Every structure is written in structure tokens, then in C-alpha cells.
Structure 1
Amino acid sequence: MGSGIRYRVERAALALMATAGIAVLIADLFGWLDKLAPGGALPKITLLILSTVTLFLLMELDRLRVLDDVTAQLSRLDADVNTQLSKLDIDRIARELQQEHYGGVLQVHRRFPEEMFTRFVETSTREVTILQTWIPNLHRFEEALEKAVADRRVQVRVLLLHPSSPVARLRDEALRTVRDPALEQDVKASVERCLSILGSVFRRVPEEGRARLQVRVYNSLPSVAVYKADEHYLVSSFLHGQLAIDSTQIEIDGGDTVMGREVQRELDTLWSIGGDVDLRNWRTSVDTIRL
């Protein structure tokens, strides 16, 4: 029912009730009510109360109608606001602001967030790429890499420093302060251990999926360490006396951001100069790659 019709009906009903109440009062003054309902004091009181309330409501009817109008206006305003908000892509605006002001950087981690990167690998659908001299924590997400290749057909690319590269010896010197001499392990041995793990992953993957696991070794001085899963990047620097995974990690979201493009350019450059490693026999393969 429209507000105008309802207003007229309510006003007519209240006027009728008020008139009836006044008629009852007049009938009571002249004793007509006692003749109709002897001893009916309680109904009289009830009628008096109802008449009073009705008169009050009748006087306040205009104000109540104003409240109805306000409610209707608020409902229309709320609908308009929801309509306008529905036109806004909040997530897109947030991404644009993030790209504009922070170049795609989401946050900075104190050290490599292994659990986060493992989740990135486990949910990846297209590509996982790692650029390192060697990967000290490879065993932490070895299984996730295998499942990505075998189960979800994800392209996995790994870039490692050539174990016989002069850069390996330089990095070995830079890390001397953090390596326990009793372990008798250097950069060369660490790279070879990573190649051995990747070779094991390669053999466990079904034959038809092995081509999606690619490893290259490079003979160059890398500027950054990169762990990438789809559009997520974790980037750190090679500092003296400190492993890259123990350095601060810059988390970047989006390969089309300022930071994402720069990191991707570095990945592509080192991949282009790297030599392919045949994981069926990685030792022989690495020995044949010219430095």
C-alpha cells in the first residue's frame, strides 16, 4: 500500500475511533451508557483511555508520516550508495595504488619465509622459478616442487651458480664468516648437493612430465636471489658474511609492476646465459658446460 493511501486510511480510522470515544463520554454523562451496560465501569475506563491515546495519535499523525518519509528516503539513499559501490573494483584500485606508490612491493620480511613460499609453490598454476648461487633450504620445499611438476603440470626453472665458476670461490670467501669449518662444505659442494636433490626429483617425476623441470647453471655474478611462484616474488641480496635466505626478503606481487619487471629482467638475462643441465646425469652434464 502506498504511503499516501495508508496515511488517509490511518487518519480516517483514528478519527473514527476518536469520535466513538467522544460519543461514549457524552453517552456516559447523560446516563445513556448505564442503560445500555449497567455496572460497566471498567469498559468506560477502557474507552476513556483508548480515546485519549487515539486523540494523541491523531495529533501526532503528521509527525509519524514525516518519519515514514525519512525511512523511505534513507532506503533510497542506501540503494543508491550500494549501486555506486558495486561499480567500484576495490581490489583493482588497491592494486593500482600499490603499483604506483610501492612498485608492487607488499612487505619486507626479516628472513626468507619458508612456509609462505611453500604455500606459493603448492598453489602455483603456471611457473616456479628460483635464482640462487645454491639453495640452502631446497629440502624444505622439494616435495612441493615435485607435486607442482607432476600433478599440476607447472613449469619449474632453477638457476644455480656453476660449481666450478670463479664466482663460486668469491662467494665462498664472502661466506667464510658464517660457515662452520668443521662441516667442510663450500659453495661448490652446496651447488652439487642441490643438483643431486633436483636429480632425485627429476627421476621421481613421470617420464612425460620431466621436461617441465629445467635446471641451468650460470657463470656470472648475480645481483639478487629470487624465489618466484606465478606472480609472487621473494627477492634478497647477496651480502658478505650472510646467506641470502637470512637477509631481508622483499615480497613483490605482480610481474607487471616496476619492481616485478626489473626482477623478471634479471631472471631472463641469467637464464639466457646459463647452460642446460641434463638431470639424468647432472655431473657429466655440468662438466661439459663451458665457462
Structure 2
Amino acid sequence: MVSEVNGRRWAYLKRKGFDRGAVLLAATGLILIGSRYGSAYIQDLGLNLGADLLGVLAVLYAIRPFLNRAEARRESVLERFDHKDFITRADDAQRRIEILDSWMALLQGGYQRPFLTSLREALERNVEIRMLLLDPDARAAEQRSDDLLRRTNVVENIMGNLSSLHDFRQGLPENMRHNLDIRVYSTLPPVQMYRADDHMVVSFYPVNMTSSNATQYQTSPQSQLGTFVGSKFEELWDAHSTRSLGQYREIVIKVSPDEAEQLYRTQFVTVERSIYISGHRIAQDHVEHGVAGLPVRVEQSSAKGEIEAANSYLFHTVSPASERYLIVRDLFRAKYGHNRHEVLLQLVEA
């Protein structure tokens, strides 16, 4: 139920909506103009922030009619996300479950076991499950950490979620895996969404607070708000920068020591936009001449398997005595949960 304070806040926002919208629109225009002429870092940051502000504008105008109706139907507004209620609704789902979030508290603490149990039972009923979580390698993950004043380790939470989902998926029979699709996206969305059939819960990404602790709006996929949020989900799902869970966990390396090209699928991490791979097998295959300086090609593809780009690199061996080795090794541990990366190779642009 919406508190009296929340009621006054929304009344104020409705009165001031046009002025706030004009200010946000002007700020967005300035940021996008700056992103066109600034440095590479400023361009990336500007485009990301500009897209976020455009999303906020769209959400404000999409949700306003819903808020008006919610004032007369207050049971549609909750003070925070009800994890147990969503698990129950997942238990009852017959067609689809869809989740859009940075990371899920449902995969942590006491919620994890009943949630995964409900997902497995849903898959047994041939329910289609699609999940979108924030890519921990994306700058947007650092941006969200800043929003939370660095009090929450966003990257670690996402990595933990993705590791749990990988283990869960690996434990499923082959005939059940095709209905479970997990992807990671690279830009902050305007909303959080949890859907089970025709029940949808939507929230925002407030500053200084996780979205699950913010006000939640219960609606249906057919409502104006539900239609808007559903379209954002589909846009992110099909975005070129969105990766599958498999692509997040493994990279395909094509090594060309001579005319014969060798293909490797290996684990990797990203540090400051540099790619580091687990190179034990590659080093063994090239022990005679070594791996340093070997030409490498990496094809970047979308979650749908479409080739987006092909980049050329050279191998650089990371010294176990270096500080960088320790940083990369710890990231491998966080991402994969083990320490079997004696040989770490950096991909250096050719």
C-alpha cells in the first residue's frame, strides 16, 4: 500500500511533470551532443547516460496513467518487492516467466533453493523462461555501483547469480534446457520487471537503494505500463550487444601459427576492456615455439549467433609475479569459482 508520503510525492511529481520533463529533455540533448564531440570515454559515458535519461522520460509518461488508476486501486502498488509471492506465482506459471533485473536477490540466501525448485518444476511443465541480467563486464555495472554509493558489490552479485544459473542449467536434463534462456545486457534499463504469465511487477532503479526495496507496481502485460516494459524487454533481448550465458562464460579463439587455423573455446575475464583467457591448453599445444606473439582472431557475435565484428590480437603472457596476474586470477575465481588458471594470456590488439 502506498504511504502518505509516497502519495504526496506523486502528487507533486504530477504537478511538476512538465517542468521536470523539459529539464530532462534538455539535459539529454546536451549530453548526447557532448558525446558526439568528446573523447572516446566521454562518448561512451554520454551515450549511456543519454540513453538512460531518454528511458526515464519514456517511463515517466508511460507510468502516469497507471499511477492515476493506482490511486483508486492501491492494492496494485507495493512498498517493496515480495520475493515469496513471486516464487509462488512462478510455482503456478503455465506459459512463461520473464525477468529483467541487474541481479536477483531470489538467487541469494534463503530464497535460492525454493526459487530454483519453482523454476525446475515450471520447466517440467514446458514453461518458457527468459532472464536478462546486467553484464558484469559492462560499464553500466560500475555505474549502478556508483548509484548505490558503492555499498553494494554489483559486479560480485551479478557474477554469483550467473554462476548459480549456469550450475542450475547444467544440472537439467537436455530436453528441459531449451526452454531456459539466460542473457546479459550491457546498458542500464529504465525498469526492473518480473513476470509470471499475466502477472507483472515493475519497479525503477532509484539512487541509494536497490530496486527490490523501491516501490513496486503490479500490473498486467496488456496494460499501457506492461506493454511499454514488455517492449523494452524485447529490445534488450535482441540488442546486438546482448550476450547469451554461454558467450558470457566462454570465448572462441582462433589461433593461426601458420596456415592451419586452430579453434579454442576457453574461459575469460575482462579488465579495463582488456581480455584475459585461461591459456593452459593453448600453451600446451604450442610448447615448442611458445605462445607469445601468436596471431589470434576473435569473432564477436550476438546472442542470436550473428557475427558483429572480428578483431585481430596477439598473445601476451601475464607473469605470475605481476600484480596484474593476481587481479586477473581473482576475477577468474569470482567468475568461475575455482583456481585452475596457471597460464593467463592477454589479448593485445595487433
Give the TM-score range, shorter chain.
Answer: 0.5 to 0.7
| Secondary structure of residue in 2 paired with 1:176 | coil
- The answer to whether residue 163 in structure 2 is matched with residue 190 in structure 1 is no
CA distance in 1, matches of 2:176, 2:99: 19
Distance 1:157 1:136, change over 3 A: same
Specify the alignment match of 1:263 in structure 2.
229
- The answer to whether residue 244 in structure 2 is matched with residue 276 in structure 1 is yes
Distance 1:105 1:203, change over 3 A: farther
> Does structure 2 conserve the Cα–Cα contact (< 8 Å) formed by 1:174 and 1:241?
yes
Deviation (angstroms), 1:138: 2.1
The residue type equivalent to 2:238 in the other structure is S
1:80-99 matches, cutoff 5 A: none
> Does structure 2 conserve the Cα–Cα contact (< 8 Å) formed by 1:195 and 1:282?
no
Within the candidate set 148, 170, 191, 2:143 is matched to 170
Number of residue pairs aligned between Structure 1 and Structure 2: 184
Specify the alignment match of 1:110 in structure 2.
79
Specify the alignment match of 2:197 in structure 1.
230
Within the candidate set 121, 128, 132, 2:101 is matched to 132
Long gaps (5+) in structure 1: 1-97, 180-185
Specify the alignment match of 2:182 in structure 1.
215
Q: Flag the structure with higher strand content.
A: 2
Deviation (angstroms), 1:204: 2.0
> Does structure 2 conserve the Cα–Cα contact (< 8 Å) formed by 1:159 and 1:218?
yes
Specify the alignment match of 1:154 in structure 2.
127
The residue type equivalent to 1:125 in the other structure is Q
Deviation (angstroms), 1:119: 1.1
> Does structure 1 conserve the Cα–Cα contact (< 8 Å) formed by 2:166 and 2:245?
no
- Cα-to-partner distance string for 1:49-89 (whole Å, 9 max, x where unaligned): xxxxxxxxxxxxxxxxxxxxxxxxxxxxxxxxxxxxxxxxx
> Does structure 2 conserve the Cα–Cα contact (< 8 Å) formed by 1:178 and 1:242?
no
Larger radius of gyration: 1
CA distance in 2, matches of 1:123, 1:105: 24
Deviation (angstroms), 1:106: 5.5
Deviation (angstroms), 1:282: 5.0
> Does structure 2 conserve the Cα–Cα contact (< 8 Å) formed by 1:105 and 1:259?
no
CA distance in 2, matches of 1:193, 1:242: 20
> Does structure 2 conserve the Cα–Cα contact (< 8 Å) formed by 1:225 and 1:238?
yes
Long gaps (5+) in structure 2: 1-65, 252-266, 269-299, 303-307, 309-350
Distance 1:160 1:289, change over 3 A: farther
CA distance in 2, matches of 1:177, 1:219: 19
- RMSD, aligned α-carbons: 2.7
Higher relative contact order (CA 8 A, sep 6+): 1
CA distance in 1, matches of 2:226, 2:75: 11
- Cα-to-partner distance string for 1:85-134 (whole Å, 9 max, x where unaligned): xxxxxxxxxxxxx9x95599961111111121111100001110110111
CA distance in 2, matches of 1:109, 1:144: 23
Indicate the larger mover: 116-125 or 268-277: 268-277
Q: Flag the structure with higher helix content.
A: 1
CA distance in 1, matches of 2:88, 2:245: 27
Deviation (angstroms), 1:271: 0.8
| Secondary structure of residue in 1 paired with 2:181 | strand
The residue type equivalent to 1:263 in the other structure is V
CA distance in 2, matches of 1:216, 1:267: 11
CA distance in 2, matches of 1:200, 1:105: 40
Superposition TM-score, scaled by structure 2 size:
0.48
The residue type equivalent to 1:197 in the other structure is S
- Cα-to-partner distance string for 1:174-231 (whole Å, 9 max, x where unaligned): 112643xxxxxx2111111111111121022211110111011111121001011111
Deviation (angstroms), 1:269: 1.0
CA distance in 2, matches of 1:160, 1:289: 18
Q: Percent identity?
A: 27
